[in-house]
Each structure stands twice: as structure tokens, then as C-alpha cells.
Amino acid sequence: MTWDKILGYAGAGAVVTTIGTLIGLVLKERIFARSFERWKTQLSLQQVARRYREPIALTALELCTRLIDVCDEYPAEFLDSSILTISAPSRPTLNSAADPYFKRYRLVSTVYRLCAFLGWIELYRQETTYLEPEGRSRTRDLERAIFAIRSDLADGQLNTAKDWPTWHDALIFREEQRAIGESMIVSAGQTRTIMGYAKFAESYPSSGTLSEERWFTRAAAFLLDLKRTKDFRQQRLQRLVVHLTNLAELLAPNRIRQEHCDAHAKYLKIANDSAA
């Protein structure tokens, strides 16, 4: 074998080695790196989902349970703003639903349940904002369920009655929903969580100047002083029962009780009949 051939083979080998090295670098930097990033995004999403699945489902069901009571008693007497103008009783004095302490408790706790739910939704939104769209697409069903609830609170066009200008209504716009949620977020050490009922009851109702109070009052406006006739909030509350149950069934189906299923079927039928 001549030196020319030997050098030729060596040159070809060097070229092959160089090409192989370049291909390896491309695989490492592009394909493997992208796969690793996708894996990290998926892992982050799973961690977020595990962290928020239970609290979102529980607060959705707690709010849903109370709204079922409101819809069944519509217009619920305890959601009367005049209750807040009376000095708060220190304890129950009557063993009945007419007890002033109990009525005030039901009013404040109903507002709290709405605010707490929006708080967990806002925490979840903030945690998932940084995720890549590809990773977030895995939560499509959850995003749709949350969107339906936000729509129940915010969209004026849901009332399709021909005389809709004569109806009473109240809305919480989407950015206001986030502001309410933000006001509910507190820190416990290194963990961010949602304000407990004790602290909330000190903030709402209040004559102080806490910034949170403004947003809690804004949430309460959606619920208080329901009208007996031509108040579209009745339909909004019924829609919320349906969509909150859908959300809880998606996240924690074992938490659903028969009363939620019955109310879901009842108000879904009413909505379908109205749309027909």
C-alpha cells in the first residue's frame, strides 16, 4: 500500500470522525437538550398539578355547596348587606337560621369561599405562567373548566333576554378576579398559601383602609342583595354550580357528593331548557 493511499484513508477517516463529532454535538445541544427541557417542563407541570389539585377542588366544592343553598333559597335572606350595618353579635343567641350571628357568619363565609377559590386559582395561574406553551397544553381541560367559571362571573353577554337592559346584574371582570385572588395570597414561611377565615373575617367587613378590603367588597357585590325577579345573578349562580362541579370532578372526582351531582343535573337542565 502506497503512502498516497494511506494518507487518503487517514483523511477520509478524519472527515468521518469530524462529521460524527459534529452530529453528536448537534444531537446533544439540540435534540437531547430540547427533550430534557420538555421533560423538565412536564415534571414542573406535574408538580404544580399535584400541589394545587386538592385545594382547588376542595374550595370549588365548598363554594359550590354554599351556592346550592343560595340557589335553593333564592333570594337567600342572609345575603343582605343590611346585616353588615348592625353591630356584630359576639355569639349565637337563637337556635335557628334567623339568629343574627348565624346570618352574619353565613354572609361573610360565603364571600370568603368565593375569594378563597379565586385565590387558589390565582396561585395556580402564577405558578404556570412561566411554563412553555407545549407543557401548558397538557392542562387544556383544566384551563377550559376555569375559563367557564371566569365567564360566569365576568361576561355580560350571557344574558340573551330581549329586555336584558331592564335586568339587574353584577359582574366581576377577569382582572378583578385576579386582584381578588392576589389579595387572598399570604406567605407562611417559604410557602405561599391562601388567607384563613380568621384573618379574612378581620379584614371584611371593616372600616379600615386595608387594600384587601376593597377587593373583598368587590367580590361581595356579586353576591349581596339578590333581587327576586329579573336578576341575572340567579342564572350566574346556577351556572357556577354546574361549572364548579365540573372542575372538581376533573381534579378530585372522589370528593363529589350526591348533592353536587343532583344540583349539577338540575341546573344543567334549566340552562339547556333556557337555551332551547
Residue 215 maps to a domain: yes
Residue 222 maps to a domain: yes
Name the domain count of the chain: 1
How far apart are alpha carbons 133 and 128 in whole angstroms?
Answer: 10
For range 111-137, the mean pLDDT: 81
Residue 48 maps to a domain: no
Per-residue pLDDT band for 6 (boundaries 50, 70, 90) equals very low
Cα torsion 171, 263, 204, 122 to 10°: value is -70
For range 236-254, the mean pLDDT: 96
Percent of the chain residues topping a pLDDT of 70: 76
Element housing 191 (H / E): strand 191-194
Using one digit for the tens of pLDDT, what is the confidence trace for 246-255? 999 999 999 9
Using one digit for the tens of pLDDT, what is the confidence trace for 254-274? 999 999 999 999 999 998 887
* Mean of all residue pLDDT scores within the chain: 84
Instruction: Look at 39-53, 91-105, 112-126, 204-218 and tell me which has the smallest mean pLDDT.
Output: 39-53
Residue 5 maps to a domain: no
Element housing 188 (H / E): strand 185-188
Residue 113 maps to a domain: yes
Residue 106 maps to a domain: yes
Instruction: Look at 137-141, 198-202, 209-213 and tell me which has the smallest mean pLDDT.
Output: 137-141
Q: Is the dihedral of CA 47, 49, 52, 54 positive or negative?
A: negative
Report pLDDT for 196. Answer: 95
Residue 213 maps to a domain: yes
Domain with 163, as residue range(s), is 54-275
How far apart are alpha carbons 17 and 174 in whole angstroms?
Answer: 59
Residue 180 maps to a domain: yes
Report pLDDT for 37. Answer: 52
Report pLDDT for 189. Answer: 85
How far apart are alpha carbons 274 and 116 in whole angstroms?
Answer: 31
Report pLDDT for 92. Answer: 81
